[in-house]
Structures are given as structure tokens and as C-alpha cells.
Amino acid sequence: MRDESRVVMTGVDVRFDASTGRWTAGCDDPVGEARLVVSAETMERAERLLDERWRARIEGLDREEEEDR
């Protein structure tokens, strides 16, 4: 299992999209694929969704490593 205290979210960008009236949050994918991006009605919700999605990717990596052992 990864030590989550050492794994940090990088490339974080949170901004308001005036054309849609929603907040967009993005960060680098921990596995190096396309960026993780979410959209929500509030900045707090967008940040929370991004954190949840990022943590799910980390947990997925942990499961893959376990299966490879």
C-alpha cells in the first residue's frame, strides 16, 4: 500500500468557467495519463470531487500492485 502522506496531487488548477457558470478543478493523473478534471456548481464541491477522484485512482493503483504480487 502506498504511503499517502508521500503521494501529493500535482498540477492542481481550480477556476470558474463563466460560460457554463460552473467551477472546474483539474490535476495531473497519478498514473501519468490524461488529467483528472471535474466540474461542479461550487468551488468547494469541485475541489472535493477532484480529491475523491484522485484518491480513487491511488487506491486503484494499490489494488493493481496487490494483484501483481
**Predicted confidence pLDDT, tens digits, the chain (69 residues):** 455 556 789 999 999 999 999 999 999 998 788 899 999 999 999 999 999 999 999 998 888 877 777
Which DSSP symbol is given to 2? -
Residue written as grid cell 480513487: 56
**What is the pTM for the complete model shown?**
0.80
User: How many Å apart are CA 19 and CA 39, to the nearest integer?
Assistant: 13
How would you write 7-55 as a 3-class SS string?
CCCCCCEEEEECCCCEEEEEECCCCCCCCEEEEECCHHHHHHHHHHHHH
Going by C-alpha positions, the residue among 32, 23, 31 that lies closest to residue 50 is 23
